[in-house]
Structure 1
């Protein structure tokens, strides 16, 4: 006769399999089929121990990529489907050593893990509610065990340490103004919406606002979009959603980073309600994203309109002057820890000219120079700097753009299908995107007009020429269209 415990174990395994399948479905719907197939198709559930879910992949490369790019998203999906899960561990299937999670005491590791071979690779995980790092981060508006505490702040991300230049001057001035507002005298910049590509200082500026506003006596909460989503889901699960909403709407300043990552059906709606409630109550809202409000696909039109109704400021890529100031600041900071670290002016200029992407690459470049200088024990030269940061230097050759990429992006941007663009339909909602796609194909690729016509459903080259000339003429008088074209070009070439 089959033991009752065996039946219970089978039922539990079946429940776990169903939960894992839901996690996979969430990931597939969020990142798309292509990304899911590339990075998650071989991700497997191993076990759940307490609040930690263990997963595995077959290669170290997959493990590294998921940890670097998708661990927070994976953790959020797991927490939504596995009751009580707060951590995710990803490992290569051949390794078996248990890690020590950040903040977990050493004696919490099982004796079995201690007996593993010392050379076994150690797994790393992420906590949904991370503990503050020692002396490096400060929680905003947090009390011990507060389920609705904000994300931690880096104590170094202040206005004093923010390097100001032409590309970010307006954003810095607006942020400084907002941080000095009070409940009785709020600023007119509400909401303040800051957007830029990655690594240009959005997070630094948002955390500086949180630090300064808190020092000014305001009640502040700083949240990432991931943290907002997790806190809301956790509040629903624990039936404390009302308290969660009251806490958010009872503050003076709400700061939310990376709002483009908001997902789901109810979460963007709740974000909209919170946004409206705070602004109507004359409380300050600060938002950051990697795109303007009009391009936030996962937020409804009313919310996009509300975000656009405040002050929208773009932080542009660093110019040479700002990069040079940042290199000087980074070197000065490094010198306080490494007094023997000297950087000649020629190396300063080389790094500022060679790294033109973002501040994180500049950080990486200075770290490389410190390592080469201290380990080699030789003076820094331009030749040594070239060798040290070679892999950080982006080629000046423009990215190759494919006509298929243009068609796919334009179709998504204008909410039509790719088949519509290639079809013979002549409705206005299809003709304009088709003409824009043809124009971009002519401008961004080396394809001839006849070749472009063939790739757009077998059209004649005169049709393509007409579309190109029409969009060129319209862009000179239609400012919104001109801005849309520039945005699409950036999205295709960056």
Structure 2
């Protein structure tokens, strides 16, 4: 009973964090946090990495403690532990029998190349960056119409002479999940290091950059840290949308300016264009927009066929005798349309089906194996401006009215509905939404969201009207 109550408290704490931080930020920092235990005065949470523990304790400890104290006033401390450091109980019980050794089970072999240990390539300097995966290279990257420009620009960057001004600077690549951004950055890193081993090439995730910067501040080594960054010849930053914190963004902006002004190359990847990175400082966005931006689109049928053929060839190398008929591979390429990662996952399932069932893989069996992937598409990215236009048109008010300070009922209700829809249909946080509605405070947005949620429960007409607005926005 107590365990269920604790679980309920953690669910409420997570709900409030998600509301305050927004879906993107919440998933980045709290998506893998788990509740472990609670005693009289301490709550223990667990995370999978030391970095995540450090970041949460540095940036969210006070807020976590406040939320738990609101749930139970006796809580005075939050402990965050790394799950890998929790030692399993190995001491056998006195009356227990020795465990029998289970028979060996066949190991599923994935369709992609075997997971090699991740390591940083190139010379180890003061700042070696994030690990680079050996599986990701230009040779294993399937290029096609949706990614050809980004692919060509990345190769040009990797092959460019150090110190020579490149017109692709900064090079900005954006795309949805599973479309090859990280593969392209890893491939660029490896190719640039091979082309000129003396060139200082650093690949970083935004998460890693934040961690290293905070650690440098704590150890009072910020100046050497900054100097080591500004000595880079080629810097590649992944997942830019996760860069958080005013001081971190300021330092990143200084570093970006120093590198570009010094004819050093910068490559950035994110899940949206620079103008839509609303959590970023305006100066950083402006500098990113001043370079060259390429989008990697959803894979078309030709590219999907190439991805399937390439991954199937790799799978055959690691699974002698593997036989998946061409019609099944064509079904996979035609039916799984969302992104390359889902295609690889679908092929892995078919390989496992062939391996474990000892039955031929047919189109009929593949339809069952792949049914949750078939036809799945990434949801369309909704912009707050679209919501404002649709709501303003429906209620016969202007967009300027929604952003104004006018408090008449004919304006307030549409404004609240637009804020509610912005929270429901976009990953934007409450402060971001408030800024897009005339610079309002996040508490105003939260009030609007709760107000509309309450009205929907008791007003079927309003609920139907909002559903209709959602369909109009999604068209």
Cα deviation for residue 72 of structure 1 reads 6.8
Alignment length (residue pairs)? 364
* 1:55 corresponds to 2:45: yes
Instruction: Write the mapping of 1:185-264 to structure 2, written as runs, cut at 5 A.
Output: 185-217=164-196, 218-264=199-245
**Which of these residues, 124, 136, 145, is aligned with residue 166 of structure 1?**
145
- The SS at the match of 2:89 is helix
Instruction: Write the mapping of 1:473-484 to structure 2, written as runs, cut at 5 A.
Output: none
The 1:382/1:25 distance shift into structure 2, 3 A limit, reads closer
Q: Which residue of 1 aligns with 2:89?
A: 113
* 1:302 corresponds to 2:283: yes
* 1:157 corresponds to 2:136: yes
- The SS at the match of 2:293 is strand
Deviations 1:58-86 (A, max 9, x none): xxxxxxxx87xx9975652136578xx99
Deviations 1:213-260 (A, max 9, x none): 111222111000100000000000011111111111101000000001
Deviations 1:126-184 (A, max 9, x none): xxxxxxx98432314563xx773311011011101100100000000000000111223
The 1:157/1:398 distance shift into structure 2, 3 A limit, reads closer
Cα deviation for residue 381 of structure 1 reads 0.7
Distance 2:259 2:32 in 1: 42
Instruction: Write the mapping of 1:405-444 to structure 2, written as runs, cut at 5 A.
Output: 406=387, 421=402, 425=406
Is the contact made by 2:51 and 2:211 (CA closer than 8 Å) also made in structure 1?
no
Q: Which residue of 2 aligns with 1:448?
A: none
Distance 2:302 2:127 in 1: 41
The 1:233/1:338 distance shift into structure 2, 3 A limit, reads same
Deviations 1:334-383 (A, max 9, x none): 00010211121111111011111111111111111011101111221101
Deviations 1:437-486 (A, max 9, x none): 79x99xx9xxxxxxxxxx9xxxxxxxxxxxx9xxxxxxxxxxxxxxxxxx
Distance 1:344 1:280 in 2: 54
Q: Which residue of 2 aligns with 1:352?
A: 333
- The SS at the match of 1:254 is strand
TM-score (norm 1): 0.62
Distance 1:308 1:151 in 2: 25
Q: Which residue of 2 aligns with 1:122?
A: none
Distance 2:90 2:388 in 1: 55
Cα deviation for residue 211 of structure 1 reads 0.4
Distance 1:313 1:400 in 2: 17
Is the contact made by 1:141 and 1:150 (CA closer than 8 Å) also made in structure 2?
no
Q: Which residue of 1 aligns with 2:342?
A: 361
- The SS at the match of 1:222 is strand
Is the contact made by 2:36 and 2:44 (CA closer than 8 Å) also made in structure 1?
yes
Q: Which residue of 2 aligns with 1:127?
A: none
Instruction: Write the mapping of 1:7-406 to structure 2, written as runs, cut at 5 A.
Output: 29-31=20-22, 44=35, 55=45, 76-78=55-57, 88-89=81-82, 99=84, 113-115=89-91, 135-141=116-122, 143=124, 148-217=127-196, 218-395=199-376, 406=387
Is the contact made by 2:170 and 2:260 (CA closer than 8 Å) also made in structure 1?
yes
- The SS at the match of 1:137 is coil
Distance 1:254 1:387 in 2: 44
The 1:23/1:353 distance shift into structure 2, 3 A limit, reads closer
- Please give the root-mean-square deviation of Cα atoms over the aligned residues, in Å: 4.8
Q: Which residue of 1 aligns with 2:7?
A: none
- The SS at the match of 2:372 is helix
Q: Which residue of 2 aligns with 1:18?
A: none
The 1:135/1:142 distance shift into structure 2, 3 A limit, reads farther
Is the contact made by 1:260 and 1:289 (CA closer than 8 Å) also made in structure 2?
yes
- The SS at the match of 1:153 is coil
Is the contact made by 1:73 and 1:226 (CA closer than 8 Å) also made in structure 2?
no
Distance 1:179 1:269 in 2: 27
- The SS at the match of 1:247 is helix
Is the contact made by 1:179 and 1:210 (CA closer than 8 Å) also made in structure 2?
yes
- The SS at the match of 1:390 is coil
Is the contact made by 2:178 and 2:341 (CA closer than 8 Å) also made in structure 1?
yes
TM-score (norm 2): 0.64
Is the contact made by 1:140 and 1:222 (CA closer than 8 Å) also made in structure 2?
no
